[in-house]
Amino acid sequence: EKGGWSSFMAKEVSEEPEAVANTLRGRIRHGAVEIPELDGLDELFASVSRIVVIACGTAAYAGQVGKYALEKWANVPVEVELSHEFRYRDPVLDANTLVVSISQSGETMDTLMAVKYARERGAKTLSICNTQGATIPRESDAIVYTHAGPEVAVASTKAFTAQITALYLLALHVARVRGSLSPTEIAQHVLELEAIPEKIQRVLDREHDRTTQLARWMADTRSVLFLGRNVGYPIALEGALKLKEISYIHAEGFAAGELKHGPIALIEPGQPVFVLVPSPRGSSVIHDKVVSNIQEIRARGARVIVIAEEGDAAVLPFADEVLHIPLAGPLFEPLLAVVPLHIFAMGLASAKGLDVDQPRNLAKSVTVE
């Protein structure tokens, strides 16, 4: 079943382009997004006053990325909360709250209990799920399946890119219904989305071997930090989680803007830090702030590995390594920037001789609370 790949994870990372393409399929018509499964829900989307996204682990990071698109495009306030935190406080819910759950397996008990709770409290529930007929979608009012195909490795990869894709489709679908974006704006975002599979493929083709080599050199590293800002922040968290899960190395992701509020104290000579640099074409202010973060950590001896768009010369003087991603609109960069992080985690775990598909202490789907 691994089809010649050394692990399921390697196979699944190589399938990230088609996971995105398959999730888009059948949901774009004449440059607009129309998700057939959501037919008949226009009234709900028009009246919804708030969206609460619930999920665990990697799925929650996809939710954090999706928040940016849902707020910007659909103009609805969005909160993202871990299912187990949401369930055991007293969240304010009503019929105008849409609770969107995200789960690859559709069986995560924490998320299932949170969905049931939200429903009992009168909220409408929508499930983004990768497994046809799983329990969470069956317990929900509406379903948008991701079509990443079966994911076997414990570390979630292609399901993550597919989840972000589904959230972007949802945001554009809701934006059309609410009229918060013009048809032209929607068409531009659709074009960006349709270009993603090929761009991910480019990242795989161009950066796979270099990233794996880098991971091999770093096999003895004891700690790796990840910095990101804006949509890059959840990607930093995802990069850190993946590394912890399969390589058992201490890893932490931070919002780059938090550096001087604490984490910079961790920087000592030789400390590896991945920095996700947003495109200067999106916001030159944010780009420049991240570049100055790089200078700050470099001055303290950090070993800086940058993920930046092709042609971003501003980062070159301060980076020890640069991994490139193709140009994309600012909100679309997470779908590209995460790929080297998936490859890196896998490369490092393999370099340590670990089983990348079956890390210790973890199960693919967590069916107990």
Residues labelled catalytic: 364
Q: Does 108 bind ligand M6R (CB under 6 A)?
A: yes
The DSSP letter of residue 265 is: G
- From the CB of 147, what's the least distance to ligand M6R, in Å? 15
- Distance between CA atoms of residues 180 and 186, nearest Å: 10
Binding of ligand M6R at residue 350 (CB under 6 A)?
A: no
* Contact with ligand M6R (CB under 6 A) among 111, 165, 271, 293: 111
Whether the CB-CB separation of 135 and 107 falls below 8 Å is answered with: yes
Q: Which stretch binds ligand M6R (CB under 6 A): 153-161, 213-221, 297-305, 327-335?
A: 153-161
Does 358 bind ligand M6R (CB under 6 A)? Our answer is no
Which of residues 178 and 364 has its CB atom nearest to ligand M6R in the complex?
Answer: 364
199-218: burial string, b at 16+ Cβ within 10 Å, e else: bbbbbbebbbeebbebbeeb
Contact between 245 and ligand M6R (CB under 6 A)? yes
* From 155, 240, 328, 345, residue interacting with ligand M6R (rule: CB under 6 A): 155
Q: Measure the CA–CA gap between 15 and 20, rounded to whole angstroms.
A: 9
Vertex 323, ends 214 and 69: CA angle to 5°? 125
Residues 44-103 that bind ligand M6R (CB under 6 A): 56-59, 103
Figure out which of the listed residues 104, 146, 271, 279 binds ligand M6R, where binding follows CB under 6 A.
Answer: 104
Q: Which of 156, 161, 212, 279 binds ligand M6R (CB under 6 A)?
A: 156
DSSP H helical ranges for the chain: 8-14, 16-24, 42-47, 57-74, 83-87, 109-120, 135-138, 158-178, 183-217, 232-247, 284-299, 333-351
Tokens encoding 31: 């440059």
Q: How far is the CB of 313 from ligand M6R (least distance, A)?
A: 34
Q: Which residues bind ligand M6R (CB under 6 A)?
A: 56-59, 103-105, 108, 111, 154-156, 241, 245, 365-366
